[in-house]
Amino acid sequence: MKITKFEDAEYFKKHKYRDPRDYVVESYVMPKVKFIEDTGCFRRAGLKILDVGSGNGTFSWHFRKYSDTVVGLDYSEQLLRRNPGRLKAMATTYQLPFKDGSFDIVFEANLLHHLNSPHCAIKEMKRCSREYLIFIEPNRYNPLMCLLSLAVRPERGGLTSCRKRWEGLIRNLGIEVITGMVTGMISQENTPALLVPFLKPFDFNFCLGEYIVLVCRKLTAAAKSELLYG
């Protein structure tokens, strides 16, 4: 992790997280979930979803609509205690405690920009995925996100977080980017509830949105061969 000083680690322990059922959190989550749903990756019987770095269940709580098997994984026991989900696991992102291809979808949100080795985390996510991988990360070109990254030491990784970087890293690891967007002006933790109605109109694809959403798929052997040999 990029958090190397004790006081930075303490920031995450002391930080107050809104419940995943909170109005602001739902307003932040649901437009992104709807975008993912429209790709068709939720349409599978017996769907299994792994939420890596799930925290207190910001997204995994809402994935229950699509699957009876949603596992929220985090390294923080404290956050997992606050997670209202049924299935939870405590582990490091770099060593996921699951067999290859255990999940149809492996998902993360706002995790990679905190890591020293995001490519190692993505490789582990790929290993555990049967098909889809979904990434949500902050957009450094959003003015508010840029200010937050400058002002809060544990968020400094956001200064290098952009769509071009993540797409390049993902493709280099043999993963296909199916679709993506940059969207939203609602932060699940920092946006006052009174502002939500005025910010909802920004839930569309535009370059200054706060968050990058990428829906990806593991390349098949045939697809890999086509990329290598044309």
Paired sense of beta strands 69-74 and 87-90, if any = parallel
Please give the residue range of the domain that contains residue 224.
6-229
Q: Is 216 left (phi over 0), alpha (psi -120 to 50) or beta?
A: beta
Average pLDDT over residues 47-58: 97
Domain with residue 49: its CATH number is: 3.40.50.150
- Is 49 inside a domain boundary? yes
- pLDDT by residue (tens digit) across 60-111? 999 999 999 999 999 999 999 999 999 999 999 999 999 999 999 999 999 9
Residue 219: pLDDT band by 50, 70, 90 thresholds?
Answer: confident
- Is 41 inside a domain boundary? yes
- Is 1 inside a domain boundary? no
Q: Produce one character per residue of 157-189: b if its CB has 16 or more CB atoms within 10 Å, e if not.
A: bbeebbbebbbeebeebebbbeebbbbbbbbbe
Say whether pLDDT at 15 is over 80: no
- pLDDT by residue (tens digit) across 129-168? 999 999 999 999 999 999 999 999 999 999 999 999 999 9
For 32, counting Cβ atoms within 10 Å of its Cβ (0-12 exposed, 13-18 middle, 19+ buried), the class is: buried
* Average of per-residue pLDDT values in the chain: 92
Residue 16: pLDDT band by 50, 70, 90 thresholds?
Answer: confident
Q: What Cα–Cα distance (Å) separates residue 144 from each residue in 18, 57, 147, 184, 185? A: 19, 24, 5, 12, 9
Q: What's the pLDDT score for residue 1?
A: 36
If you count them, how many residues does the chain have?
Answer: 230
Paired sense of beta strands 211-218 and 129-138, if any = antiparallel
- Is 122 inside a domain boundary? yes
How many structural domains is the chain composed of?
A: 1
Residue 205: pLDDT band by 50, 70, 90 thresholds?
Answer: very high
User: By percentage, how much of the chain surpasses pLDDT 90?
Assistant: 87
Provide the CB-side half-sphere exposure for 230 (13 A, CA).
0
Report whether 100 contacts 128 (CB < 8 A): yes
